[in-house]
Amino acid sequence: MSIPTIQVRSIVLPSLTPFGTETENINDLLEHTSRDIEVEYLQDKIIHVIAIEAITAGVPGNLWVWVELSPFPTTTSADYWMAIGGGGGALVPVAPLVEVATGADTTIHTFTLPWAIHSPYARVVVQTPVSATPLTANWVVQCWFSGKGP
């Protein structure tokens, strides 16, 4: 029986050292795209997401999360990415996972995005397509990939 492992980037400079504590504040109507992760030989792939509402006042816009796949890394082709659920490239997917804000400060949302489609590279995209009102509320988001290796 295989033991699930967390996929980390190979040591190719420049590289990112994953501490497991990296987060990103999201509330600016832009897409936030992760680094490319090599997933070609992984099975049972899952993206784990922790999203915390950080509110001074108001409610953050709904959080949209989806997976994009490509046979090439971004450095080779920035345009050849297909979003699971439809869309891809500059288009948002037809059916992203949508996490609705509660409006309560420090509310923690956890969810997973499993997928079975095989591709050499994957990345996760997070977006708030509607801004918070007022702009004093956001999401603090952390995502990580896991899967089973051969």
Domain-located, residue 17: no
In SS3 terms, the chain reads as: CCCCECCCCCCCCCCCCCCCCCCEEECCCCEEECCCEECCCCEEEEEEEEEEEEECCCECCCEEEEEEEECCCCCCCCCCCEECCCCECCECCCCCEEECCCCCCCCEEEEEEEECCCCCEEEEEEECCCCCECCCEEEEEEEEEEEECC
pLDDT (mean) for 42-55: 88
pLDDT (mean) for 122-147: 80
- Does 8 have pLDDT greater than 70? no
Q: Each residue of 92-107: pLDDT tens digit?
A: 666 788 899 998 999 9
pLDDT at residue 144, as a whole number: 79
Domain-located, residue 58: yes
Domain-located, residue 117: yes
pLDDT (mean) for 124-149: 80
Residue type, position 99, single letter: E
**Cα(86)–Cα(127) distance, integer angstroms:** 16
Q: Tell me the pTM.
A: 0.77
Domain-located, residue 43: yes
Record the tokens describing residue 134, joined without a space: 């007022």
Q: Each residue of 63-89: pLDDT tens digit?
A: 888 888 888 888 777 777 777 766 555
Of 83 and 132, the structure prediction assigns the larger pLDDT to: 83
Domain-located, residue 48: yes
pLDDT at residue 142, as a whole number: 85
- Does 110 have pLDDT greater than 90? yes
- Does 55 have pLDDT greater than 90? no
Domain-located, residue 7: no
Grade residue 5 by pLDDT with cuts at 50, 70 and 90: very low
CATH number of the domain enclosing 71: 2.60.120
Domain-located, residue 6: no
- Does 121 have pLDDT greater than 60? yes
Averaged confidence pLDDT in the chain: 76
Q: Quote the number of domains for the chain.
A: 1
**Domain limits at 123?**
34-148
Domain-located, residue 10: no
